Amino acid sequence: MENCIFCKIINGEIPSNIVYSDDDFIVFTDLNPKAKLHYLAVPRKHFATLNEMTKEDEQMLGRIMGKIPTLSKQLGLSNGYRLIINQKGETGNDAEQEVMHLHIHILGGEKLGNPNGK
Ligand code: 5GP
Ligand code: ZN
């Protein structure tokens, strides 16, 4: 997808610190980390949000989730981690998704506090 930062990272047009890569997705460090360790797991296929997901995408996302437990150990997250998907909606962007290429934040490496509730 033209003008998509994450597609450009996947294609190697923009440099990034890739820590894992397979046929389904790549994982790289976030440019502006919100925790001591902050990775982004990004499907190679461009789709903006979960709203555009197909049956095939569901299976691919399942495979990605299945790899995260093993990956987390390699990435220094044996003490636990937090996964976040910021999701733009049809009528607004309450979660403030910034990059319109679906991605899973993987955060950890320190105590994160409990984000439940306000
Ligand atoms: P969102 O708000 O869309 O869920 O998160 C987008 C994330 O992408 C942010 O945490 C931001 O720091 C990260 N990000 C944006 N542009 C780049 C980039 O060019 N390289 C890397 N490594 N991360 C980026
Ligand atoms: Zn993209």
Looking at the CA of residue 105, tell me the nearest atom of ligand 1: 4
pLDDT tens for residues 36-92?
999 999 999 999 999 999 999 999 999 999 999 999 999 999 999 999 999 999 999
72 within domain boundaries = yes
pTM of the predicted model over 0.85: yes
d(Cα 2, Cα 9) in Å, to the nearest integer?
12
Closest-CA residue to 38 (of 7, 17, 24)? 17
Looking at the CA of residue 103, tell me the nearest atom of ligand 1: 4
CA of 95 to the centre of ligand 2 (A): 19
Give catalytic residue positions: 103
Is there an atom of ligand 1 within 6 Å of 98 CB? yes
- Which stretch of DSSP H or E encloses residue 20? strand 18-21
* Domain containing residue 92: 5-108
CATH code, domain with 58: 3.30.428.10
pLDDT tens for residues 7-49?
999 999 999 999 999 999 999 999 999 999 999 999 999 999 9
